[in-house]
């Protein structure tokens, strides 16, 4: 909103700087005294939250890029090495991964707020278009970043999504195939593809930042919309952005960071998929490809349309239609609050988007496919049919005469003896109580999909016989049992290491804080028990030597071909991150190791397979590795299968999350700080907005 400058340089240096580069004047006029509608609620705080999250993603991404190796051979391991060997690497990586989900959560809330209050209507069409462009760039950036992990799910997501361009062959023969090969840099997803995605993923956030600047610029020309949709008419309708909205946005940001912190420190993998902790294998397709939760509504649209080309058009159109919303909505009223018919269609649209997110996580068959098509129809019908028609036939409610009137009521009815019951300050306080419910509702909508995906995994056999166990390392205040980890290492070494490698761990890790914490001498002895192939020596020959603490855990086989040959063609998986590569984590590993049993009557077993209650399909090639008494314990623990399974499950959890205790401890400190800071910010906000109480009361009297 254009307004006269009130900046007055107070020193000679400020006057000199202002006459040459008036940056302080711009900051003062546009971010300090900028006139802002007095009735903005907490839905408007997500714009500032998004700016903060963009900064988090850029900063963490730059540091992560310094350690990432963009090659098929090194990508997966480099991500894990960041988590283990880089100082605070686990914090950077988890903040970046969880931050992407929080970024999209805030972006979707921000977008729905724009739809609720008609923030796309004149004169804010360019503002809206730039916002949709930012969302489109976010989706592209997140997709490319998702591929960089080079896990099973991300690899095949890249393969499937990029291969969609081949549908253009139906329009111009050869065009789609040529485009796909150009994107891949060859005939399949590989090194060139990964390198290109890495380069673009690094570049795009800076492009987003540039568009964000344009977005803010476009906002400051007409000024903010507001919940009534009524334009600013008098100076009483506005308040300076600072301190009123800086303190209010600050309080909302702290509340958002509490939610961010809970996921970051206590459930960093909750929004992800376990298969992405399995290194990419071009020869093995996952049974069900599920992208990240923020892609799922559009993924559901893609799969709901049976024709490949039309599905791609639907996928692109799901985002592209948002660009035309300012002209599709024919109503002269901005805010949904004053549109009694449209309001019901809008909230049905919100439910439809959440439902599409859930359906996108399920296999496209049966009722899931039917409701996916129904949801896709309503998604496009809302924009292309409902918006234009309802806007013409609907009779809106009467709008308030001004923003001030919507807050204080008609002037003739305002009390003169006591402070008004609902001023801008009390309006803000009223919404403050609803802030947590707003965040919670948005989070539940976002988290419904990963939960549903886990339930599906359970139904497919991953968790049908899995019961939650009590572990000493359970959040938020858990810790590893040192004696249990030491026993678990012995079970791994004597049983599991005969077939399974653990290439991401070194013997020195056994003595580090937060793990088994073997003594320095014990680590040297344990490492020396392994014979390591080294060389070449001066004669060019490879030789064997005792292991050192700096060596990686010795693999039982020289290469994958030898491992397959020794196991009837099956490749025993590496156990470094096994506790994160299976839904249920240590609960699944424990259930698997204790789940061997005779097959039920009538259950057809394949020759050479073993029946297991926890394994998907209940048939597993690995024989039962544990027998009571096979490994003697020297600390008084009973040498039973149950204890073996429990101990090695805990050890594998530590192997996958060696910084877990550090994460919990830092999380506790930060959460306490944020909670205390939230109280301080809330009280400060009350004090600041109380000024408006007093001013309104003085004006009324």
Known binding residues are 496, 499-500, 622
Q: Could you give phi then psi for residue 279, rounded to 5 degrees? A: -60, 145
CB atoms < 10 A from the CB of 687, how many?
12
What angle is formed at CA 40 by the lines to CA 35 and CA 46, rounded to 5 degrees?
105
What is the length of the chain? Answer: 701
Q: Which two tokens stand for residue 546?
A: 């005792």
Helix (H) or strand (E) holding 238: strand 238-240
Cβ 592 vs Cβ 612: under 8 Å: yes
Helix (H, G, I), strand (E, B) or coil at 474: coil
Kindly list the distances between the CA atom of residue 6 and the CA atoms of 26, 27, 190, 375, 439, in Å, as whole numbers in the listed order.
10, 11, 58, 52, 37
CA distance 701 to 693: 12
- Would you say 335 and 227 are in contact if contact means Cβ atoms under 8 Å apart? yes
Backbone torsion region of residue 585, taken as left when φ is above 0, otherwise alpha when ψ lies between -120 and 50, otherwise beta: left
According to DSSP, the residues that pair with 610 across neighbouring strands are 620
- The CA distance from 1 to 224, in Å, is 8
The torsion region of residue 671 among left (phi > 0), alpha (psi -120 to 50) and beta comes to: alpha
In whole angstroms, give the CA distance from residue 148 to residue 124: 37
Alpha helices in 495-551 (DSSP H): 520-528
Between the CA of residue 539 and those of 535, 542, 543, what are the distances in Å?
Answer: 10, 9, 11
- Residue with token string 């409902």: 386
Can you say whether residue 629 is alpha, beta or left, with left for phi > 0 and alpha for psi between -120 and 50 degrees?
left
Residues making up the annotated binding site for heme c are: 496, 499-500, 622
Exposed (0-12), middle (13-18) or buried (19+): which is 59, by Cβ within 10 Å? middle
**256 Cβ neighbours under 8 A, 6+ residues apart:** 49, 102, 106, 439
């Amino acid at each position: 909103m254009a307004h006269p400058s009130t900046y007055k340089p107070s020193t000679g240096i400020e006057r000199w700087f202002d006459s040459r580069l008036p940056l302080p004047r711009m900051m003062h006029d546009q971010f300090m005294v900028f006139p802002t509608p007095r009735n903005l609620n907490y839905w408007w705080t997500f714009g500032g939250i998004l700016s903060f999250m963009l900064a988090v993603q850029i900063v963490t991404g730059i540091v992560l890029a310094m350690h990432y190796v963009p090659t098929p051979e090194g990508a997966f391991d480099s991500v894990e090495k960041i988590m283990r060997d880089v100082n605070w690497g686990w914090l950077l990586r988890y903040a970046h991964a969880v931050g992407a989900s929080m970024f999209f959560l805030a972006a979707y809330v921000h977008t729905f707020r724009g739809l609720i209050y008609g923030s796309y209507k004149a004169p804010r069409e360019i503002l809206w278009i730039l916002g949709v462009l930012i969302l489109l760039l976010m989706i592209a950036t997140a997709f490319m970043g998702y591929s960089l992990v080079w896990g099973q799910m991300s690899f095949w997501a890249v393969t499937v999504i990029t291969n969609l361009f081949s549908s253009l062959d139906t329009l111009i023969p050869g065009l789609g195939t040529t485009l796909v090969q150009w994107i891949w840099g060859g005939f399949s997803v590989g090194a060139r593809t990964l390198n290109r995605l890495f380069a673009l993923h690094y570049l795009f956030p800076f492009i987003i930042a540039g568009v964000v600047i344009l977005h803010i610029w476009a906002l400051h020309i007409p000024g903010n919309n507001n919940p009534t949709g009524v334009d600013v008419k008098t100076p009483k309708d506005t308040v300076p952005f600072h301190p009123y909205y800086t303190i209010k946005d600050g309080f909302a940001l702290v509340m958002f960071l509490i939610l961010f912190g809970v996921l970051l420190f206590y459930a960093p993998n909750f929004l992800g998929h376990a298969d992405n902790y399995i290194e990419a294998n071009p020869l093995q397709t996952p049974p069900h490809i599920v992208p990240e939760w923020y892609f799922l509504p559009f993924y559901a649209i893609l799969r709901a349309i049976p024709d490949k080309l039309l599905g791609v058009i639907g996928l692109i159109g799901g985002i592209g239609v948002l660009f035309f919303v300012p002209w599709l909505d024919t109503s002269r009223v901005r805010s949904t609050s004053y549109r009694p018919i449209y309001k019901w269609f809008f909230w049905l649209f919100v439910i439809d988007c959440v439902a599409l997110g859930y359906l996108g996580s399920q296999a496209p068959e049966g009722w899931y496919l039917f409701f996916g098509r129904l949801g896709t129809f309503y998604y496009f019908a809302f924009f292309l049919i409902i918006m234009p028609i309802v806007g013409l036939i609907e009779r809106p409610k009467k709008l308030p005469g001004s923003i001030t009137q919507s807050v204080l009521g008609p002037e003739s009815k305002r009390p003169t003896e006591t402070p008004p019951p609902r001023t801008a300050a009390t309006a803000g306080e009223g919404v403050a109580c609803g802030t947590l419910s707003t965040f919670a509702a948005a989070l539940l909508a976002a988290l419904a999909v990963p939960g549903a995906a886990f339930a599906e995994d359970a139904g497919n056999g991953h968790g049908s016989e899995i019961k939650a166990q009590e572990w000493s390392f359970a959040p938020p205040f858990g810790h590893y049992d040192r004696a249990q980890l030491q026993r678990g290492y012995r079970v791994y070494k004597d049983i599991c290491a005969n077939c399974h490698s653990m290439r991401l761990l070194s013997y020195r890790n056994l003595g580090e804080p937060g793990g088994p914490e073997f003594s320095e001498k014990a680590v040297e002895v344990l490492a020396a028990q392994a014979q390591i192939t080294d060389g070449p020596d001066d004669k060019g020959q490879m030789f064997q030597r005792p292991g050192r603490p700096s060596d990686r855990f010795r693999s039982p086989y020289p290469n994958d071909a030898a491992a397959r040959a020794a196991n009837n063609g099956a490749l025993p998986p590496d156990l470094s991150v096994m506790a994160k590569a299976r839904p249920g984590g240590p609960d699944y590993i424990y259930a698997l190791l204790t789940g061997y049993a005779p097959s039920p009557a009538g259950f057809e077993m394949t020759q050479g397979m073993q029946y297991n209650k926890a394994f998907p399909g209940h048939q597993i090639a690995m024989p039962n590795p544990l027998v009571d008494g096979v490994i003697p314990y020297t600390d008084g623990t009973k040498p039973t299968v149950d204890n073996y399974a429990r101990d090695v499950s805990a050890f594998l959890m530590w192997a996958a999350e060696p910084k877990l205790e550090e994460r919990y401890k830092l999380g506790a400190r930060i959460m306490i700080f944020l909670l205390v800071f939230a109280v301080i910010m809330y009280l400060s906000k009350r004090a600041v907005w109380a000024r408006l109480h007093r001013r309104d009361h003085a004006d009324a009297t």
